[in-house]
């Protein structure tokens, strides 16, 4: 029976029950810890494991400190990095693209529909005759404006795009569902991507977030990915991020409609340079090792195996997954922390890909030996992921009018950065500290309901998302 993949808890911060991101006990013992509650969407099985490492993606696994002092109670960060080489120009793949455009009445304001039409017209100029294009619009209901067709006559398609007008409410569920339906049979040698553009909240039809997210991930195992572009200041960014996570695509936030052409061009470049699809990490923990927190992604644990769905990885891209882990010391000299498999589908061939890594920790009695085993670079990556998870919670609190809670989360984020900068003896986090101060100032100076306040909240979440991955 087919399963579906998890949406990320990070993206659903305001759609689900509030979760407190715990910091390292050794850093901030006063940070409250509470179980995370999340709307979970069933996740698809990862790609089948092959006999040996194969494919373009690489995997590295590091601890922020390789040696632990015996008997000292403290947790460590595990940093997993997925790398993809730059894709040569002659390996760009043909694209099956379905644009799903919000044409509700709100799109008439600030010239949004005008810029949206212009962006799609420009996008058609960049597609090739080997690509296919379809266009779905949605307001009170969804409808197909352009059925899947090869882009051999872009001028004809552009004339059809220019005739689109606005009306009615926002039936987001039916729009994304119909857009996904435009994709043909699975073709491992083509990129099949749905790009959603919306400026508002779901107001018509099935409005439950879980239904909309499920529709976005409906065909991810067939290689159909979903990217989302939020336009303006009134859309639900948590839902849009969760949809892109479910669909294995990207999320972008555009405040000025004139930026849409650039955003579409960026998305097109990415989709023609996919290195791996359906990318997932499987983490097999050693005896008594616990994962306490995964930053930026949701993690599913079953029968001792923790699975983290990553989605599409593009050429030249590096993705990181950071987890806080508890490693037992007891009387052991060495501890098996984890064996990690990276499994995916190679985008250019459709064949399964695999990369593997393992982690060991050493238990020592000398604190100086432990300190000298610090991996400063891994620590900086981990610090940013953990601190920005707190920033995302602060931004959600601020957007909901809880300004005191927002400032508290930013103070915790800043305190964590300072503590870890000291631990790793690094100045690499100085810029992050300055940005946290600037973020606190923006939240303090602007009312959450004002245009500047709504922009500040959305931008903070976009930054926090990027820095946690």
Render pLDDT for 374-398 as a digit per residue (tens, 0 to 9).
Answer: 999 999 999 999 999 999 999 999 9
CB 322 within 8 A of CB 291: no
Ranges of the chain with pLDDT below 50: 1-23, 25-48, 50-51
Predicted pLDDT at 22: 42
Mean pLDDT rounded to a whole number for the chain: 88
CB 456 within 8 A of CB 443: yes
Nearest residue to 317 (alpha-carbon basis) of 283, 275, 362, 348: 275
Q: Can you tell me the distance from the alpha carbon of 278 to that of 186, in angstroms, rounded to the nearest whole number?
A: 13
Predicted pLDDT at 34: 35
User: For residue 364, how many other CB atoms are within 10 A of its CB?
Assistant: 17
Q: Can you tell me the distance from the alpha carbon of 171 to that of 108, in angstroms, rounded to the nearest whole number?
A: 16
Q: Strands of 40-156 (E only): list them.
A: 58-63, 67-69, 76-83, 94-102, 132-138, 142-150
pTM: 0.86
What residues contact 205, with CB distance under 8 A and at least 6 apart?
Answer: 141, 171, 172, 173, 174
Q: What is the pLDDT of residues 295-311, one digit of tens each?
A: 998 888 888 799 999 99
What residues contact 14, with CB distance under 8 A and at least 6 apart?
Answer: 238, 396, 399, 400
Predicted pLDDT at 90: 61
Which string of b and e fits 41-76 if b means at least 16 CB within 10 Å? Answer: bebbebbeeeeeeebbbebbbbbbbbbbbbeeeebb
Predicted pLDDT at 247: 93
Q: Can you tell me the distance from the alpha carbon of 118 to that of 261, in angstroms, rounded to the nearest whole number?
A: 7
Predicted pLDDT at 28: 45
Q: Can you tell me the distance from the alpha carbon of 408 to that of 396, in angstroms, rounded to the nearest whole number?
A: 12
Which string of b and e fits 311-341 if b means at least 16 CB within 10 Å? Answer: bbbbbebebbbbbbbebebeebeebbbbbbb
CB 361 within 8 A of CB 70: no
Nearest residue to 222 (alpha-carbon basis) of 298, 278, 264: 278
Nearest residue to 216 (alpha-carbon basis) of 100, 106, 297, 138: 100
């Amino acid at each position: 029976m087919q399963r579906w993949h998890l949406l990320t808890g990070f993206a659903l911060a305001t759609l689900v029950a509030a979760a407190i991101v715990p910091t390292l006990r050794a850093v901030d013992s006063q940070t409250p810890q509470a179980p995370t509650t999340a709307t979970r969407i069933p996740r698809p099985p990862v790609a089948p494991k092959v006999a040996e490492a194969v494919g373009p993606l690489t995997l590295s696994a590091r601890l922020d400190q390789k040696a632990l002092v015996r008997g000292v109670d403290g947790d460590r960060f595990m940093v997993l990095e997925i790398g993809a080489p730059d894709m040569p120009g002659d390996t760009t793949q043909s694209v099956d693209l379905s644009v799903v455009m919000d044409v509700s009445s709100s799109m008439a304001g600030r010239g949004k529909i005008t810029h949206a039409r212009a962006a799609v017209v420009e996008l058609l100029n960049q597609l090739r005759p080997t690509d296919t294009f379809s266009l779905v619009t949605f307001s009170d209901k969804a409808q197909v404006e352009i059925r899947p067709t090869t882009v051999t006559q872009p001028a004809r398609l552009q004339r059809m795009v220019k005739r689109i007008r606005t009306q009615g409410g926002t039936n987001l569920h039916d729009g994304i569902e119909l857009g996904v339906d435009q994709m043909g049979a699975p073709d491992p040698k083509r990129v099949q991507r749905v790009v959603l553009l919306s400026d508002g909240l779901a107001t018509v039809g099935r409005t439950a977030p879980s239904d909309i997210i499920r529709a976005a991930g409906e065909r991810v195992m067939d290689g159909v990915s979903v990217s989302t572009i939020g336009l303006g200041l009134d859309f639900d960014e948590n839902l849009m991020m969760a949809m892109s996570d479910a669909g294995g695509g990207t999320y972008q936030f555009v405040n000025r409609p004139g930026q849409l052409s650039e955003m579409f061009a960026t998305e097109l470049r990415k989709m023609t340079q996919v290195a791996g699809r359906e990318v997932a990490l499987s983490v097999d923990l050693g005896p008594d090792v616990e994962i306490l927190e995964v930053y930026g992604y949701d993690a599913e644990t079953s029968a001792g195996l923790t699975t983290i769905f990553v989605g599409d990885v593009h050429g030249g891209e590096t993705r990181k997954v950071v987890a806080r882990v508890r490693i037992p010391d007891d009387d052991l000299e060495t501890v098996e922390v984890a064996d990690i498999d990276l499994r995916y589908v190679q985008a250019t061939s459709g064949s399964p890909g695999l990369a593997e890594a393992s982690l060991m920790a050493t238990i020592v009695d000398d604190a100086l030996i432990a300190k000298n085993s610090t991996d400063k670079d891994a620590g900086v990556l981990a610090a940013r992921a953990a601190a920005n998870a707190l920033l995302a919670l602060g931004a959600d609190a601020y957007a909901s009018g809880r300004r005191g809670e927002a400032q508290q989360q930013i103070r915790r984020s800043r305190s964590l950065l300072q503590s870890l900068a000291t631990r790793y003896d690094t100045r690499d986090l100085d810029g992050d500290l300055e940005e946290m101060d600037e973020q606190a100032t923006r939240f303090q100076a602007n009312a959450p309901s004002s245009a500047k306040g709504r922009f500040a909240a959305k931008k903070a979440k976009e930054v926090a998302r990027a820095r946690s991955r």
